[in-house]
Amino acid sequence: MKIDYSEFRINDFTFTHRINTRFRDLDAFKHVNNATFLTYLEDARIVFFKRWNVNHSTRSLIVASINIDYVNQVIHPSELVICQRISRIGNKSFDNFSVIFSKNKVVCASTVTIVCYDFKNKITVPVYSEIKKDFNV
């Protein structure tokens, strides 16, 4: 199934995070390197997840899978808007859907599958209720 990225708008998301590109983000072709987008997504994801009171012991999250579609290139300097929402809830995992915009144009879209995990007991755990609530927003 082909996704029409032109239909996405910043207002479609309840969570947004702004980042400015940095000179060090550039590659030899003088556009933002594809690998850098993962850092942008991670930065926004950390801010997004703070509201769930996760920790590094018994109430944690681990990334299981990342799918990323590069739609348009980004040049420096640019202000990027990263929008995120929960797009799927499973028993012990969920998907975090992100779209990165530059000048209101989609430059990248990503789905990250995340597992709820208890590091102290080394087991997966059911999706936290706060995440389920965010899925319904």
Please, what's the largest Cα pairwise distance for the chain?
46
Token digits of residue 24: 């060090």
How confident is the prediction for the chain on average, in pLDDT? Answer: 94
Q: Enter the tokens of residue 59.
A: 């109430």
Identity of the amino acid at 112: V
* 65 bridge partner residues: 113
pLDDT in tens, 60-81: 999 999 999 999 999 999 999 9
Q: Are 40 and 82 in contact (CB under 8 A)?
A: yes
Tokens standing for residue 63: 């990334």
Which CATH number is associated with domain 14-135?
3.10.129.10
- State percent of the chain over pLDDT 70: 98
Measured CA distances, 129 to 11, 41, 92, 126 (Å) = 25, 23, 11, 9
pLDDT category of residue 37 using cuts at 50, 70 and 90: very high
Locate the domains of the chain by residue range: 14-135
For the stretch 88-121, pLDDT in tens is 999 999 999 999 999 999 999 999 999 999 999 9
In this prediction, residue 97 carries a pLDDT of 96
Q: What is the pLDDT of residue 1?
A: 64
| Sign of torsion over alpha carbons 43, 45, 49, 55 | negative
